[in-house]
Amino acid sequence: METRSHGAALPQSSGRPVVTDGGLETDLIYHDHVDLPDFAAFPLVDEERGRSLLLRYYGEYVDIAKRAGAALQLETPTWRASSDWGDRLGYTASDLRRVNRESVSLLQRLRDTVGLESFLISGCLGPRGDGYVAGEVVDPDAAAAYHAAQIEAFAEAGADLITALTLTGTGEAIGIVRAARSAGLPVAVSFTVELNGRLPDGTPLSTAIVDVDAHGGPDYFMVNCAHPSHIAPALADDGDWRSRIRGLRANASTRSHAELDAATELDEGEPVELARAQDALRPRLPNLALVGGCCGTDARHIAAMWGVDSTL
């Protein structure tokens, strides 16, 4: 089994295919009927039933990676496990440190049992604000200070890397990279885009990637929480910046963020159609290696992306 010391090469950085998971929160809410206030899955780590649900969810992606002959990277269920969101759910700073560490431990125990040759555990960060709304301009130093505690908990627990998902602007991305470097962890930055392919604050994806790289840059970039038809316009600009994108986690739905935010029913699209739409982006993404899903997707969608039959 492959485990990594901090700073060692990630398989996706050398172009090795890596399976990652789907839309954890929407899968749990709509398929398992789990109540997740503020879209926060991390409290499940504190409950026996919650841990069982998480392990069932993760196990589906272990199976896909085995059948695809690919490496696997799983995200901790901690997208909302930072202080502002934790406060809303009654979690203290010490509670959050514990649950972030235990989220890594949960996946470490799974890794020890499944027999995969390459299985990375990624400490998952979300934005301080709403992942669908840009909000105020974020100061990088303030972002580094805000996210440091969660990142340090992941480092202490032995996470292989940090992945910051659904970022809406460059300031927070720069700060997260700084905090991850201070903790000695590799880091991936994933932006989301609107229907026009721009970040929620209006920044072109190309500009965002070049800007963050000018301030040190992560190990690689991703795009998540957008349908491939929304990502396509973002890739229209030529340039070396596109080679910095190594991961995609697409939404199942073609709806806008505003429409999804207001929706009361799941729009899970059609797995094979989503896989085809995502494959159509590959000519513009020469280094794409890590592939999974985001809102509305589950193991059926990810199996289709990897060309294996779903067991669901």
- pTM (2 decimals)? 0.94
Per the model's pLDDT, the better-predicted residue between 256 and 51 turns out to be 51
Q: What sign does the CA torsion over 213, 215, 219, 224 have?
A: negative
Q: What is the pLDDT of residue 11?
A: 97
Average pLDDT over residues 56-78: 98
Q: What is the pLDDT of residues 139-155, one digit of tens each?
A: 999 999 999 999 999 99
Per the model's pLDDT, the better-predicted residue between 263 and 75 turns out to be 75
Say if residue 48's pLDDT is above 80: yes
Please state which architecture CATH assigns to domain 17-289.
Alpha-Beta Barrel (3.20)
User: Model confidence at 131, in pLDDT bands (50, 70, 90)?
Assistant: low
The structural domains of the chain, with segments of one domain joined by +, span: 17-289
Neighbours of 56 (CB within 10 A): 10
Q: What is the pLDDT of residues 255-290, one digit of tens each?
A: 887 788 777 788 899 999 999 999 999 999 999 999
User: Model confidence at 227, in pLDDT bands (50, 70, 90)?
Assistant: very high
Which tokens belong to 112? 């020890």
